Chains A and B, each alone.
Chain A
């Protein structure tokens, strides 16, 4: 494909340059109250943002569009895993894309973490950077949630052989290579383990990066109920 754009040389991009070769992918479902603030925060670090609206009945898509993000719309609700895969497929259609950030729409992730993770990916020549809330003490967790997340991580580590500290974190960075290797088949929530599993089976180079998860009353009310981990487990087991 011919293009006359001056390609920057490979290697780490300058901080604060908007990561021109990165697409931020945000699965969007019923987040009309939170999405604008999330996009505003991301704008400070990233230029290219795509929201995959997973059939939201509210104004989520319109607000994301008004805030300047590209919106890809699922005609029917499919689930977060399916929305992520659509966003990754969208980013892969851009020949200049070198990395993809997966970011949640409810405001629990920090844009500065995402930016640092892209820098790490470029600097260390990695294919995947997983966010982990257990690598520093910024994230405040209640004991039950901590226990369930630890169990989920233990399960994922045992089944995939990947020694991660936080297996169910939605903040990740994928290189173009990783984005085209990973293929999410679980439409709903089991995709987190699925990504780890596929990275484990491939020869993609990966690392973890400490991130903060902001548990606000809002994200708590929108977030996964702990009971849903049963569904994730069954989905994972039955394939």
Chain B
């Protein structure tokens, strides 16, 4: 296996694991932004000078610059997917807590309910 293949696979798994662990931390947010920045630089460079990106890619053993860009994009996409999922879960859990709190506070108190249901029998 080519070295670049190993590096890219490790990166995919690494980003996945990082984002899986927690999405709330500032460190993770910073890392996400750095990676996104890197991808932007790579994208801009490939637009301005496709040849340079190809040279860089070939230095890593990847055939074309566009391929290198594609790999970066795949990593970024997967990362964004996982991070969105995590954030949505966090938001849902806050909505759940809020709804539960409202539901319980508005409900007939258990002691009152107990007395009423006892009286029914």
Contact = CB atoms under 8 A, between A and B. Distances in A.
A70 B100 contact: no
A41 interface: no
Nearest to A71: B107
Q: Interface size bucket, A side?
A: 20 to 34
Which secondary structure characterizes the binding site on chain B?
Answer: helix
Nearest to A52: B103
Interface string A1-33: 000000000000000001010010000000000
Interface stretch (B41-49, B55-63, B109-117): B109-117
A211 interface: no
Given A73-B103, A86-B103, A97 B110 contact: yes
Contact of A48 (B92, B103, B107, B113): B113
A90 B114 CA distance: 12
B44 to A, nearest CB: 34
B96 A48 contact: no
A40 interface: no
Interface in B90-111: 92-93, 95-96, 99-100, 102-104, 106-111
A93 B120 CA distance: 21
A238 interface: yes
Contacts of A82: 96, 99-100
B118 interface: yes
A156 interface: no
A86 B100 contact: yes
A23 to B, nearest CB: 8
B26 interface: no
Nearest to A73: B103
Given A50-B110, A70-B107, 15 more contacts: A20-B118, A47-B118, A47-B121, A48-B114, A52-B103, A68-B120, A74-B99, A75-B102, A85-B100, A93-B104, A93-B110, A96-B114, A187-B92, A238-B20, A239-B20
Interface of B: 20, 85, 89, 92-93, 95-96, 99-100, 102-104, 106-111, 113-114, 117-118, 120-121
15 contacts: A20-B118, A23-B110, A47-B118, A47-B121, A48-B113, A48-B117, A52-B103, A73-B103, A74-B99, A74-B100, A86-B103, A86-B104, A90-B104, A90-B107, A97-B110
